[in-house]
Amino acid sequence: MNIPEAYSIVNITSETVSLFKDCFDRNGGLKQEDKIKWQFLQNPVDKQFVDIAIDRANQVVAAIYAIIPVQFKAGDQYFEGSQSLNTITDVNYRGKGLFVNLAKDVYQKAVNDGIQLVYGFPNGSSIHGFAKKLAWKVLDPVPFLIRPLNSHYFTQKISLLKWLPNVKLKWGGYRDSKEYIIKSILELPQETDVIWKAFAKTFQVGVVRDRRYLNWRYLQKPGEQYKYAACYSQQQECLGFVIYTVERKHGGKIGYVMELMYVPAYQDVGKQLLKYATHQMNKAGADCILAWCLEHSANYSAYTANGYMTLPERIRPIELHFGCRSFSGDDKLMEDRSNWYLSYSDSDTV
């Protein structure tokens, strides 16, 4: 371990959550204790890989590097991977190499415990360190899609267009299908694992989105109220589901398609589910709807059919990058963007 003797390292536990929170709070990244516990201590993969570096002399947290373990698939193999998130160096300790040294220490602990991959979405200020000093493969861009609903939200962000009047953008509305039945539901359908197994065959690399994981990610997350809808055949067979939400963020009311998953043989199910979710978010007053979907994904056509398009870089709400590092040596599979599946389930900010 290359951590200087001036610092002691502790992992995250119920006793050290307050240290984690205090460091972020001091540096402008306010955290809620219940969400920290949910993310790190109640994760379905019950392992913790967090370095909290404490300045021995001043007894203050100087820096934190954290990953959370997640079940992954790569090809036909299932294994434990991880997501990098919640990295911070206190303003008084920057420039001392703590970020890189803590990351390397966490990675070694993860490798020793069988973790084969780390991935994540570094911001603009940290992507250089991940790429140049931590050997990440950059797989940009983050695949933002947008469905505009309210012109005023965009004209206020582009100075040359601020004079335009506010209008509701064209929306064809939602009509029930004769073939499929869409139902609003309170929790994920019992058939989630069956749908997941069918959908997972359409991509090579991604987080395992089974019912256990999605229940933790959505139903058990403190302080959030996600919406769920499922699609059924006329014979009451569940063929897919969508998870979405509307939140006040980025100076407006933003809808988010968190997950859209269905049996791939029924492409119209994806289109109908997304049309329903878009309609519901429009009714809730969303200015626009955001989604993450790679252009090669099986559900990409459902987005384009519903008027979703690539979000231009200049009006993206935040600068994010997408990358990963394989610990297993199978770099070609995991470090090829065209093999991945992503959605807002991968985001830790919504």
* Model pLDDT, residue 252: 87
Instruction: Report DSSP state, residue 311.
Output: P
Domain assignments of the chain as residue spans, ordered by start: 7-138, 144-319
Rg (CA), the chain: 21
From the CB of residue 233, how many other CB atoms can be counted at a distance below 10 Å? 13
- Residue pair 80/71 in contact (Cβ under 8 Å)? The answer is yes
- pLDDT at residue 161, as a whole number: 41
- pLDDT for 55-97, tens place per residue? 999 999 999 999 999 999 999 999 999 999 999 999 999 999 9
Residues in the chain: 350
pLDDT tens digits along 161-211:
454 445 455 556 778 788 999 999 999 999 999 999 999 999 999 999 999
Pairwise CA distance, residues 214 & 208, whole Å: 9
82 three-state secondary structure: strand
The pairing of beta strand 77-89 with beta strand 117-120: parallel
State the architecture of 7-138 in CATH terms: 3-Layer(aba) Sandwich (3.40)
User: Matching CATH topology for 7-138 and 144-319?
Assistant: yes
- 251 sits in the region (left: phi over 0; alpha: psi -120 to 50; else beta) called left
Structure tokens at 149: 């609903």
Using omega within 30 degrees of 0 as the cis cutoff, is the peptide bond preceding 141 cis? yes
| Backbone dihedral angles phi then psi of residue 200, each to the nearest 5 degrees | -65, -20
Q: What's the pTM? A: 0.93
Burial of 168 (0-12, 13-18, 19+ CB in 10 A): exposed
Kindly give the pairing relationship between strand 137-138 and strand 323-326. Answer: antiparallel
Cα 142 to Cα 147: distance, rounded to the nearest angstrom: 16
DSSP line for 198-265: HHHTT-SEEE---HHHHIIIIISSTT---EEEEEEETT--EEEEEEEEEEEETTEEEEEEEEEEE-TT
Residue 211 structure tokens: 């019912």
Tell me the pLDDT tens digit for each residue of 5-53.
Answer: 899 999 999 999 999 999 999 998 899 999 999 999 999 999 999 999 9
Domain 144-319 has CATH 3.40.630.30: yes
Residue 146, pLDDT score: 94
pLDDT tops 90 at residue 251:
no
